[in-house]
Chain A
């Protein structure tokens, strides 16, 4: 069977995108290969590692298990979309500060999941943090500093809300 191309239109980090995709391509490949968003990482391609996490309408999903044509009309956020006007997101700052980054391969996915968590629940408990990021595997850090970074960012966000 000859394969066709499918037109998909969606919003990527707030900007509209219109592109053609193979029907059998994943969102991961579409982002990385067609749109040059290489911050979305390929770790396993079967949904087990979380390295390819993106936010779909604000919710974390694994882009390796999403068919590219199915994102028609959706809003996709990657790490490029979370720092505003050149200013780092509090989570990005906290990851640097807490030493939560080692090889960095899990980092974009981890931060995106954490962002979705803090957006919904600015004051998560330790258990809620662990639960939120349990699908984001990290082989380098043992998670200790990642959890600390999320706690730090949560404090940071709260205090900036109060001062606003």
Chain B
């Protein structure tokens, strides 16, 4: 049973923006609904209005705008996963989406909803962090673009304002082809992460030129592992060096114990999956 609310479906962007402007406190946007309906059922949110954005055309789709990949907030996980553009230009995101939930949910859930839901365990925030994405918001007051690093504030908390809509996810096309995504859960598939790690890397002459490493489910919000990144910057990539760097990840994270795992296990797994992700990314250069 869902709590009572009214349903509105604006046809045009301006309509949606003015509705949100008037009812910002008491309304919730619905995209795929896979988070919102669960939360409403649990009584965690009780909006008076549920605002359906699916009538707004410009919010779907994936396209390349000069050197930037643009993803509409209503693009479903499935669409993005299967998009030839994403497979080609941002295969790490495709790989992460492959491990996300399962078919039915992928057909409904959106990238925008996933980000705005700000689950610390999100499987999408980490690749988007590692890919240095930016987010564009719209409100009656105008437009705002922020780096994704500034977006997540805590569990369920983001920098989005009550009257704003997430209007676009922008990913600069990655220069390097070295990447990895690793997810660990309690079961082989269809499971929420105990930890997930996304790595994007550039190597030159066996030295690490640049590393972007992000981890999920091991802190109140998805995090970049700056400690590891800095440690490896310009370093030679020996097994030992990678292992030493991976161990540094514990300073970048702040895991809790919950139903899915203990904080200690999350720490150990962050180290192991960091090591594995760096090596997996390097392996891509070899083939």
Contact = CB atoms under 8 A, between A and B. Distances in A.
Q: Do chains A and B touch in the complex (CB under 8 A)?
A: yes
A65 interface: yes
Contacts, number: 88
Interface string B25-48: 000001011100110110000001
Given A132-B103, A134-B189, A23 B108 contact: no
A25 to B, nearest CB: 7
B104 A50 contact: yes
A62 B108 contact: yes
Given A60-B107, A61-B107, A135 B102 contact: yes
B52 interface: yes
Interface in A39-64: 45-47, 50, 53, 56, 59-62, 64
B41 A45 contact: yes
B41 A46 contact: yes
Contacts of A65: 32-34, 37-38, 105, 108
Interface centre among A1, A26, A45, A47 (most CB of B within 10 A): A47
B190 interface: yes
Interface residues of B, number: 29
B6 A1 contact: yes
A92 B107 CA distance: 24
A56 B108 CA distance: 10
A26 B50 CA distance: 13
Nearest to A67: B33
A131 B103 contact: yes
Contacts of A24: 2-5, 7, 40
Nearest to A112: B104
A69 interface: yes
Interface in A8-28: 23-26
A70 interface: yes
Nearest to A66: B33
A164 interface: no
B233 interface: no
A66 B108 contact: yes
Residue from the set A61, A72, A116 with the largest chain B CB neighbour count within 10 Å: A61
A67 B6 contact: no
Contacts of A70: 9, 30, 33, 52, 54
Interface of B: 2-7, 9, 30, 32-34, 37-38, 40-41, 48, 50, 52, 54, 78, 101-105, 107-108, 189-190
Given A67-B7, A69-B52, A135-B103, 17 more contacts: A1-B4, A23-B5, A25-B2, A46-B38, A47-B38, A59-B78, A62-B105, A62-B108, A67-B37, A67-B52, A70-B30, A70-B33, A70-B52, A113-B103, A113-B104, A134-B190, A135-B101
